[in-house]
Amino acid sequence: MSNFIKRFSNDERGVTAIEYGLIAGIIVVALAASLAPIAKQLTSVFATILAAI
């Protein structure tokens, strides 16, 4: 059991995939936060365009 725990703690396979997943998650959160204020403006622009058509 001791050897299993030592091997498990030293195993680095899959770490890169987890890091990429975390980075992708951070990017998604940043995009969502930055686009939220713009969404209302875009809605009004498209409403104006729709009314003009």
Each residue of 12-48: pLDDT tens digit? 676 777 888 899 999 999 998 988 888 888 889 999 9
pLDDT value of residue 22: 92
| Ramachandran area for residue 14 (φ above 0: left; ψ -120 to 50: alpha; else beta) | left
What pLDDT band is residue 7 in, cutting at 50, 70 and 90? confident
The token duo for 15 is 């770490």
Would you give the DSSP letter of residue 36? Answer: H
d(CA 10, CA 7): 5
pTM over 0.85: no
